Structure 1
């Protein structure tokens, strides 16, 4: 029974129940005829009254027998239905317990590898994909917030310095260039986010071109040039000249 599918188990139980009912009715009829067979074996003449009496006894016995049989089958069917629908109740309870803060809940798999097992396994895989998508969105939001916080802080600091006291034209030009540089960084990050969003939605594909590793490192150093100067760091590289790799320059 444990290896049968849910559909086969239900069909098997219906067949067994029907066969049991027929066997009980046949046994009742045979016992009743056996009790009244003495009159037949003795050669006694059977009257209409005897036939009526026999059918009355059969009707009473079958009525009482069917009552007990149906009661037994009802109790057996309830037990079978309860065991068969337990995985469904587990699915409902697990689905009700899942919230945005509890995405790691999973449906316990039934012991039988039947249709309900496949349904539970499929829903668990769906929950895995949903949890992965939500966690990736959280990581993406955290990363984007962190990346935008730095240039915004630089812009705010620069503006506050400019407002403290009057500056010379050269100083204003220098600070404005620094602000424009941070704005360019933010535009580049927005472009990267848009590319990733379109790629995940399937609206575009990533274009891979030949990129010089030396140029990528130099651009990265330029991005953090202010921090490097403030901390008096020295950056040295040992990259082979004209070393080429395939990649997307904007995302790199």
Structure 2
């Protein structure tokens, strides 16, 4: 039987001087296309970093490098200041990095419990040493625990995912990652195509992840959402890190200028 879920990060303290996840001098090319050119990146515990930029700026390539979907041509990745090798999504998960892509990777025909535990189900011994069965009670209990921690409201954990709203589905996808007790959560356009109420639900969820001490990275084209939840904004342009803004002192006009290349203010 698996242990109870905990959504807090482990040893490093919130706002530690050492980034929870750091990338140095990352480059990635696809043939003659230089998707990333010597990019540095960092995110700390208890922080939300937004990655913004035009289409083709390198945001998704950078996220996929963090998640293990792409292996960089050069550069290094560090967790808590220690160099690590991420050669696959399995490596990323093992190191505590969880990614929620736009497609969410949920099974519409299964209920919420089954989706959260798919591929890592809990079992109990029916006949010790001879017969094991699914521990539905334990999986449901831990599902309810993690949804309570994240303040996710749904009709029932036995509801089919197909019956949930877009915002609820996004929250379920995030809750699925939290069961694995991650250190870093990567969210790719989490509010895309959502209505106002659903967007608010997802933004509140992001803030709750931050409150739990997790390091959160969000790709978004919606600057209103970015300014609602992010602590820092990193602007990608033409495969490079163009600017970094502190949300407390930056304006949307400055960020838009950096995205379009209209301004060239020094990164903070």
> TM-score, length-normalised on structure 2?
0.17
TM-score (norm 1): 0.17
More helix by proportion, 1 or 2? 1
> Comparing both structures, which one devotes a greater share of its residues to strand?
2
Larger radius of gyration: 1
- Structure with bigger RCO (C-alpha 8 Å, 6+ apart): 2
